């Protein structure tokens, strides 16, 4: 009889512990909100469209906020509550798309868009999680090459014009000299003729 009672007590204790653990786990998943940031570093080139990809999981209703932090300061980009409202900052109007999983797409990035992007997912009860993505934006190299090419073309055109001018000037100087020589010759002839007549 005794060993059986002992086992029963043990079973009850084990059951209670299991129940407590299960309840704790249930509470945690119900109250918790988690966030996955698969790509915390993004390299982009100017004028690219980029996806700041995250995925949150939460059973309740959340609000999602994205901020941009750079050496020029902190700017709010967008705040939204899925199925309720979307509030996009004026400076990002027409440049931002939001996705159900909490990600945003940023269109036509510029050098000034480089920096830290901080996403905050706030759950109804007030708990929140943060995620950070670092964005680097590079100038496109061929744009520089393009500029150099244009500059060289301009220089070539200018030198061609200068060469033409010089050629033209040279020609006219020659023409002028020829005329003057002829004139001189003629006057000399005339003078000779006059002296002969005299
Ligand atoms: C971004 O560029 C840096 C240095 O230019 C490099 O170390 C990093 O691996 C790149 N990241 C990605 C995601 O391409
Ligand atoms: C979030 O959703 C977007 C659009 O559907 C998708 O491209 C992206 O991969 C998703 N992000 C993650 C981490 O699943
Ligand atoms: C949207 O943003 C503006 C300015 O930041 C604020 O005044 C307004 O209350 C916001 N609306 C919502 C629904 O959060």
Does residue 39 have its Cβ closer than 6 Å to ligand 2?
no
The mean per-residue pLDDT over the stretch 25-42 comes to 76
Q: Supply the pLDDT for residue 194.
A: 75
Lowest mean pLDDT among 111-115, 146-150, 187-191: 187-191
Query: What is the 180 CA–ligand 2 centroid distance (Å)?
Result: 86
Residue with CA at minimum distance from ligand 2 atom 9: 53
Probe target for ligand 1 pocket from 39, 40, 43, 137, with the most ligand atoms within 8 Å of CB: 43
Superfamily assignment of 33-139 in CATH? Answer: Immunoglobulins (2.60.40.10)
For 57-75, write each residue's pLDDT tens digit: 988 889 999 999 999 899 9
Residues in the chain: 198
In three-state secondary structure terms, 23 is helix
Can you tell me which atom of ligand 2 is nearest the CA of 36?
13
Query: What's the whole-number mean pLDDT along residues 75-81?
Result: 97
Asked if residue 11 has pLDDT above 60, the reply is no
Of 70, 58, 54, the closest CA to residue 135 belongs to 70
Whether 103 is in the pocket of ligand 2, judged by its Cβ within 6 Å, is: yes
**CA separation, residue 31 to residues 26, 44, 59, 77, 123 (Å):** 8, 36, 8, 27, 8
Determine if ligand 3 sits within 6 Å of the CB of residue 136. no
**Rounded to whole angstroms, how far apart are CA atoms 17 and 189?**
135
Question: Could you tell me the residue ranges of all domains in the chain?
Answer: 33-139, 140-198
- State the Cα–Cα distance between residues 119 and 65, nearest whole angstrom: 6
């Amino acid at each position: 009889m005794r060993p059986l009672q002992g086992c029963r007590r043990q079973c009850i204790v084990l059951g209670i512990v299991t129940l407590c653990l299960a309840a704790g786990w249930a509470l945690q998943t119900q109250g918790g909100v988690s966030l996955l940031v698969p790509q915390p570093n993004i390299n982009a080139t100017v004028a690219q469209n980029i996806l700041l990809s995250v995925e949150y999981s939460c059973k309740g209703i959340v609000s999602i906020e994205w901020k941009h932090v750079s050496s020029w300061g902190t700017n709010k980009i967008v705040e939204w509550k899925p199925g309720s409202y979307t509030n996009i900052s004026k400076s990002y109007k027409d440049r931002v798309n939001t996705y159900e999983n909490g990600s945003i797409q940023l269109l036509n990035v510029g050098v000034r868009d480089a920096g830290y992007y901080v996403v905050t997912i706030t759950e109804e009860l007030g708990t929140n999680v943060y995620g950070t993505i670092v964005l680097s934006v590079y100038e496109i190299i061929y744009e520089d090459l393009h500029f150099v090419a244009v500059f060289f073309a301009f220089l070539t055109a200018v030198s061609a014009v200068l060469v033409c001018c010089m050629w033209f000037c040279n020609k006219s100087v020659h023409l002028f000299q020829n005329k003057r020589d002829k004139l001189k010759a003629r006057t000399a002839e005339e003078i000779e003729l006059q002296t002969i007549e005299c």
